[in-house]
């Protein structure tokens, strides 16, 4: 079955979640790397924890709660000024370069409001056929009900989709669901330097392949490499 749609993860795939460090650097330069890395790790952990608890609070809540955790863990008082400034940056993340072909859509853990602001601020909304939030499933990826939203929203069968993500947990979830999957592998190949800093620790945890047996169909280094797969 030919591929009729490219479905992208948003955070970490189309948008650089670590571009928030430009703002944390302005606010707390001595601790910007630590805050940025803990924030993203805890953000993912909280989505999985919410799934396990069988409760749902949207990604806006999760993002703020994980930020408060990261600030406190780094020894920074989570004032409203700091929180608002960093959350505002999350609505205007830097996009990675490159655009694909055929039908294009996002499937993201982001809330509907967060994604609407993000794609508008980056002007990506002009290129997308749909922006799908897991709000409609009231679960977070990698729960199968999240990936099932693609057929509900776009009418695309499982074997008509190439799902694209840079997040290895998302690759596992999409492959388990039955999609063809392209993993954008950014980093993770180099041997770790010593001492290991927060950013490198994040890459070692998140930029290497999972080992549960759900392997991607394709591995590419950047969004611009996807054209060779179509």
> Looking at 9, 33, 58, 170, which residue is catalytic?
9
In the prediction, which pLDDT does 51 show? 97
Task: Report the alpha-carbon angle 71-113-79, nearest 5.
Answer: 25
Return the pLDDT at 169: 96
Averaged pLDDT in 10-residue chunks for the chain of 230 residues: 89 94 94 95 97 96 98 96 96 80 88 97 93 98 98 95 96 98 79 79 85 95 85
How many domains would you assign to the chain?
1
**How far apart are the C-alpha atoms of 216 and 175, rounded to whole Å?**
7
**CATH at 164:** 3.40.50.1000
Q: What residue numbers bound the domain in which 38 lies?
A: 5-229
Sorted by sequence, the CB contacts under 8 Å of residue 213 that are 6+ apart come out as: none
Determine whether 9 is an active site residue. yes
pLDDT for res 98: 65
Q: What is the pLDDT of residue 190?
A: 61
Burial per residue of 53-86, b for 16 or more beta-carbon CB atoms within 10 angstroms, e otherwise: eeebebbbebbbebbebbbeebebebeeebeeeb
């Amino acid at each position: 079955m030919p591929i009729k749609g490219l479905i992208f993860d948003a955070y970490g795939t189309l948008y650089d979640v670590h571009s928030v460090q430009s703002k944390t650097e302005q606010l707390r330069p001595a601790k910007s790397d630590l805050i940025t890395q803990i924030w993203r790790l805890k953000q993912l952990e909280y989505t999985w924890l919410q799934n396990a608890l069988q409760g749902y609070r949207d990604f806006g809540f999760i993002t703020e709660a994980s930020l408060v955790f990261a600030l406190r863990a780094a020894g920074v008082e989570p004032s409203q000024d700091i929180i608002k400034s960093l959350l505002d940056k999350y609505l205007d993340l830097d996009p990675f370069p490159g655009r694909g072909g055929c039908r294009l859509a996002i499937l993201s853990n982001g809330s509907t409001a967060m994604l609407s602001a993000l794609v508008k601020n980056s002007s990506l909304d002009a290129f997308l056929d749909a922006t799908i939030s897991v709000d409609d499933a009231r679960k977070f990826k990698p729960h199968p009900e999240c990936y099932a939203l693609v057929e509900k929203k776009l009418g695309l069968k499982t074997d008509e989709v190439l799902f694209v993500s840079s997040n290895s947990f998302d690759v596992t979830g999409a492959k388990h669901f039955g999609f063809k999957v392209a993993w954008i592998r950014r980093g993770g190949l180099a041997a770790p330097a010593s001492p290991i800093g927060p950013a490198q620790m994040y890459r070692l945890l998140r930029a290497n392949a999972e080992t549960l047996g759900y392997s991607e169909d394709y591995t590419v280094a950047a969004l611009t490499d996807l054209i060779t797969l179509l």
